[in-house]
Structure 1
Amino acid sequence: MSTETMNKEILRGGQFLVKETQCEDVFTLEDLSEEQRMMRESTKEFADRELWAHWERFEKKDYAYTEECMRKAGELGLLSVAVPEKYEGLGMGFVSTMLVCDYISGVTGSFSTAFGAHTGIGTMPITLYGTEEQKQKYVPKLASGEWFGAYCLTEPGAGSDANSGKTKAVLSDDGKYYNITGQKMWISNAGFCNLFIVFARIEDDKYITGFIVENDPKNGITLGDEEKKLGIHSSSTRQVFFNDTEVPIENMLSERGNGFKIAMNALNIGRIKLAAACLDAQRRVLTEAVKYANERMQFRTPIINFGAIKAKIANMATNAYAGESASYRAAKNIEDRIALREADGNSHQDAELKGVEEYAIECSILKVAVSEHLQETTDEGLQIFGGMGFSADTPMESAWRDARISRIYEGTNEINRMLAVGMLVKKAMKGHVDLLGPATAVGEELMGIPSFETPDFSELLSEEKDLITRLKKVFLMVAGSAVQKFGPELEKHQQLMLAAADILIEIYMAESSVLRTEKNARRSGEESQKTQIAMSKLYLYNAVETIIKKGKEAIISFAEGDEQRMMLMGLKRFTKYTNYPNVTALRTQIADAVAEQNEYTFD
């Protein structure tokens, strides 16, 4: 662990809301080490050679080609980046695992899903929860691509409510086996996996239990047909049926009844990795869209010259930049927290579990924001292509379809929105994040007389940073009042929680963009960051508009009379610009920069 990591204060998960973050303390893509840059380039080269060059094969349900590409990825070590060296992996840090997931996932959702299901929820549960014997037996095979993994949690009656599964595990009379019986559905990689992580209930236990189950058709395992899906056509997705499948007792994963915890922690990792998996897809779609816009002639001019197209290109680039900024900021926080725990004597296994769990709020924020940015980007990319975008002969059509699943798996975006707010409130109640003090201060500020002095915004992005500070007050005002009014019953008011979550999400994404730009402008000069400054300002402007809408929606849903009037006045005060940015000029500047390069180059 570096001295820098030891010496700097690392904010706990959710504390970004109540503590100021200095730009020097955020990690950006521009901070990658030489080793990480080489890893990124080798991953991009693999994606271009094996995936992008054959994108049409993935649309023809060529499951064999998905499996072939997975084996090639294994040969290159791309499946083993997060696996400790002790188990024949590369043992690289969390940021490096995010990088590989990011740049290997941009071409096709089919391969991205196979890769994520194997390296994440197929391998990591054993790495993080397995016994030493289990890890020695299975992890090297999974790391090399000799074996592939799949994750069996979802059932016909158990989706978002993961612990409600009906699959049973019954101990044999001789005590040597558990006999598993049940049905699992939507199982990625089922058609070619060698190993399942299966969750089942023992007797009438309150919580499910995890098991490592080798895929042997002779052992009561049968597969349904490949599912017919809107997108990710070459991702093998089947139902899996277990009929008295014998699983040795030594293949129980962790302790009895610990399955729900395993599932939730696996999803935390999966959520931030899903955000990473949506990033390069945005870059590639944007690059294809701007190339087309530069070449497509209408009314005797390239369509990139039209303001309507510039607005789309600018928003696509801005969202990609914000997603990168926030994802790698959180990834480095997780990596540093893991390092600190290891320095305190925790095992790597425990350190990684607790490190990721610490930032579960940020993981949910990123999953929602970046998956929705991807959906918007593919939709606008298809629109820029016009009729050609609707044709299956161009990659826009498949990108649009593939993007849709990202808002559903790893927990729906609705679930993740409520989780982000719910986890933050629980952290506050445990004293891990002080929300009460700042929320009380905001309430007192609302009762006071506002200052009419004109602030000094002479420093770069100083008005934007001041505005972000005030946006945090909006969340504290809304959430503080809601918690005070509803207490533990808050979770029953889902529409209120969804609105609060949107405020929280936009704050984190906007702040991450501004801090990244400020950091790079300080070390490289403002001139080098002109477009990034414009993107940071544009994202913040859009975030403010969202927060005004969601803040008003939340306030009038539970506050009345003087309280409502006071909070609406506060919302107006906290979201007010001193100097409004010229949004049209910002979009034009961003689009012109992207058009000149003919691709997205800000990573």
Structure 2
Amino acid sequence: MNLTWRSSSILPRTSRFYQKSFRVVSTESRKESAQQEQEVTHDQQRDPVLSEEKKARAPFLKNLFLGRFDKDVLGFPELNKARQKNFNAAIAPALKSLMDAVDPRRTDAEGTVPDSVLKELKNQRILGGTVSEDYGGLGLNAMEQCLVAEFTGSDASVAGIVNASNNMVIQVLFPNSISAVNKYGSAEIKQKYLPRLASGQLTAAWCLTEETGGSDTTMLNARAAKTLDGKFFDVTGKKIWVINAEKADLFLVFVRIQDKDELHNPCDITSAILVEKSEAVALSPCPSAGLRGAGIQNITFNKAHVPVEHLLGDTLDGNEIAFETLANFRCASAAQVAATMRGLLTKTIRHCIDRMAFGQTVADFDMVREHLGKLAVWTYAVESMAYLTAGMTDSGEYPDTQMECAATKVFSSEKMWSCLSECLVLLGSKSCSPKEGYEQYLRDSYCHHHHGGANDILRLYIGLKGLEYAGKEMQALVKVMRHPYDNPSIYMKKNFRGLWESIRFNKDNIKLKMHLYGHIHPTLKHISLQPEAEILERLVLRFPVVIEHVLIEHGAYIPQRQMLLRRMADCIIYLHALTAVLARASRSYCIGLRHANVE
């Protein structure tokens, strides 16, 4: 895997985000910086970003609903040099050696990951990679988890187990730079479980989905009832489609607990609780179309006795824990998808080069090259979005990246499916043979649509959260425009102004006030990227006009206008993709990457 594009220190002149977040220093100041670093703690030496206090920035994608664009994002982040050196020396060789020995088709046929592979993952502390070094873990941040996901992406079952363990359980107990949530696990709980999770003595599983629950966490049937002495919970209920349940020793279970609301009325609240494996925890088979080696099982809890200290956070924190952990999972999952797409593209290109038709190789035909070009662009976009989102999370300046993670997951899972469709067209009848293994690609990629949240639900989430964020600032204007008889003069003035703006914004020669093209490499302004930067700016400027119209037109009925929400979410998803691709292409040219002009 080529990591050179993330390792250079040459910067665009306008990239304050990169300079602040990743502490790249000039040649003249390196000696002084080295002296200062001798005085910091061990964690600061390993990753200075984690120890710096940074001013929180507004959420990037949510701000687009107001027509505001954080130009520093166009600098594109990269992994800290010290961390990358450590990763390439200690983790990457072991992962590469391990995954080279894994046969995905054997894993799929046998329905389990070989014990030798799991043992090696534990020995290398990969299954507990996000555990802090203070507890014996590797302390992986978001970008390093994306790198791990790329290595393990050659086998979707292995990647699913690693991703679920690191991002769905451990991050709740000990959130590091990838998460801005509070530390839900108490000091006693962390001391009890994190060292064993880091060393591989324990493996964990994440239990949310139910037969009747779906995406609505308020519809869970699993319950946790306090015993009469108030010292324990009795957990009952059934969870389905639990990854790594077969080998897990510890379960993070989302349940409903009876509590009181703000008015002290009895109500059921979604909470998260840790349950150890015992006789009260029964496993049953859960046949799956894809990810057959990921140890997917159904779990039934028959009054599992759990100490009250195993309740994570407050009883009200369950939904927040679910959203935060899923956000972490989605980001790493996109990197895994990018690795799978890259491998599939390589196989397809090899087939097109070897296959002869009408006296020449198939790869020489223009239509074939068009298909291959699409595959390369989609793969590049998915990888760019994954690492941009991970870099924003690691920087510490963006405390809220849930929308970015959701957008990245939707785009990556759908482009994976599109990538498969294009490849199957090029492969022809070869794709129908079970011996070739393309059927497994189809089954595994289908699971990506649903694992980590259904894409349609995520679109509604993106649309509603964005409108909620914009509505706080547009509230006064929306109120005036929805009650014209109370404010006739303001209403008329706004209508005339809106008419003029609609004419102006429909023209291609809209005035570009942000000058986004000034934040990419100067040479690229005159080569290829300036038109794309101007297109991005036009879209950003037009988007809040649409948002304002939607808020005025539909008001409180917006949650029922799901088609509108889906269109707005699609706009945001593609704005995120366009930003990531522009930023990475400019960055590649800045650091002198080979073939940067192709990017």
TM-score by length of 2: 0.77
Residue of structure 2 in register with 1:258 after alignment: 317
Residues 8, 468 of structure 1: CA spacing in aligned structure 2 closer, same or farther, 3 A cutoff?
Answer: farther
Letter in 2 for 1:399: Y
Residues 452, 312 of structure 1: CA spacing in aligned structure 2 closer, same or farther, 3 A cutoff?
Answer: closer
Residue of structure 1 in register with 2:303 after alignment: 244
Work out the CA distance in 1 between the residues paired with 2:70 and 2:315: 41
Secondary structure at 1:364 match in 2 = helix
CA shift, 1:197, in A, is 0.5
CA shift, 1:16, in A, is 5.9
Secondary structure at 1:155 match in 2 = coil
Work out the CA distance in 1 between the residues paired with 2:376 and 2:91: 22
Residues 431, 89 of structure 1: CA spacing in aligned structure 2 closer, same or farther, 3 A cutoff?
Answer: farther
Letter in 2 for 1:363: C
Aligned: 1:75 with 2:142: no
Q: Does the aligned pair in 1 maintain the 2:341–2:379 contact within 8 Å?
A: yes
CA shift, 1:28, in A, is 4.9
Residues 289, 529 of structure 1: CA spacing in aligned structure 2 closer, same or farther, 3 A cutoff?
Answer: same
Residues 11, 283 of structure 1: CA spacing in aligned structure 2 closer, same or farther, 3 A cutoff?
Answer: farther
Q: Does the aligned pair in 1 maintain the 2:111–2:295 contact within 8 Å?
A: no
Secondary structure at 2:214 match in 1 = coil
Residue of structure 1 in register with 2:143 after alignment: 95
Identify which of 182, 192, 206 aligns with 2:268. Answer: 206
Aligned: 1:300 with 2:349: no
Pairing 1:163-562 to 2, within 5 Å after superposition: 163-203=218-258, 205-216=267-278, 218=279, 220-225=280-285, 227-337=286-396, 358-431=400-473, 444-448=500-504, 450=507, 458=526, 460-524=528-592, 528-532=595-599
- Identity, in percent, stands at 24
Work out the CA distance in 2 between the residues paired with 1:234 and 1:415: 27
Work out the CA distance in 1 between the residues paired with 2:508 and 2:156: 51
Residues 40, 11 of structure 1: CA spacing in aligned structure 2 closer, same or farther, 3 A cutoff?
Answer: farther
Residues 229, 143 of structure 1: CA spacing in aligned structure 2 closer, same or farther, 3 A cutoff?
Answer: same
CA shift, 1:302, in A, is 1.9
Residues 448, 430 of structure 1: CA spacing in aligned structure 2 closer, same or farther, 3 A cutoff?
Answer: closer
Structure 2 stretches lacking a partner, 5+ long? 1-20, 25-48, 175-182, 259-265, 479-493, 518-524
Secondary structure at 2:598 match in 1 = helix
The structure richer in helix per residue is: 1
Moved more, 14-23 or 117-126: 14-23
Residues 284, 234 of structure 1: CA spacing in aligned structure 2 closer, same or farther, 3 A cutoff?
Answer: same
TM-score by length of 1: 0.77
Pairing 1:92-171 to 2, within 5 Å after superposition: 92-104=140-152, 106-127=153-174, 128-171=183-226
Structure 1 stretches lacking a partner, 5+ long? 341-354, 533-603
CA shift, 1:125, in A, is 1.8
CA shift, 1:522, in A, is 3.5
Residues 442, 372 of structure 1: CA spacing in aligned structure 2 closer, same or farther, 3 A cutoff?
Answer: farther
Residues 285-312 of structure 1 deviation map (CA, whole Å, 9 limit, x = unaligned):
1111111211122233221112222112
Identify which of 79, 102, 105 aligns with 1:56. Answer: 105
Residues 188, 92 of structure 1: CA spacing in aligned structure 2 closer, same or farther, 3 A cutoff?
Answer: closer
Letter in 2 for 1:221: V
Q: Does the aligned pair in 1 maintain the 2:384–2:584 contact within 8 Å?
A: yes
Q: Does the aligned pair in 2 maintain the 1:101–1:273 contact within 8 Å?
A: yes
Residues 520-571 of structure 1 deviation map (CA, whole Å, 9 limit, x = unaligned):
224428x842210xxxxxxxxxxxxxxxxxxxxxxxxxxxxxxxxxxxxxxx
Secondary structure at 1:393 match in 2 = helix
Residue of structure 2 in register with 1:601 after alignment: none
For CA contacts below 8 A with separation 6 or more, give which structure has more relative contact order: 2
Letter in 2 for 1:321: Y
Q: Does the aligned pair in 2 maintain the 1:152–1:198 contact within 8 Å?
A: yes
Counting matched residue pairs gives 506
CA shift, 1:57, in A, is 1.3
Residues 468-526 of structure 1 deviation map (CA, whole Å, 9 limit, x = unaligned):
1112234323322112211232111111111111111111101211122123224428x
Letter in 2 for 1:446: S
Secondary structure at 1:524 match in 2 = coil
Work out the CA distance in 2 between the residues paired with 1:387 and 1:145: 44
Secondary structure at 1:410 match in 2 = coil
Aligned: 1:27 with 2:76: yes
Letter in 2 for 1:148: T
Residues 49, 379 of structure 1: CA spacing in aligned structure 2 closer, same or farther, 3 A cutoff?
Answer: farther
Identify which of 31, 56, 60 aligns with 1:13. Answer: 60
Work out the CA distance in 2 between the residues paired with 1:257 and 1:24: 34
Secondary structure at 2:76 match in 1 = coil
Letter in 2 for 1:167: A
Secondary structure at 2:316 match in 1 = coil
Residues 474, 40 of structure 1: CA spacing in aligned structure 2 closer, same or farther, 3 A cutoff?
Answer: farther
Q: Does the aligned pair in 2 maintain the 1:368–1:416 contact within 8 Å?
A: yes
Residues 442, 388 of structure 1: CA spacing in aligned structure 2 closer, same or farther, 3 A cutoff?
Answer: farther
Residues 232, 41 of structure 1: CA spacing in aligned structure 2 closer, same or farther, 3 A cutoff?
Answer: farther
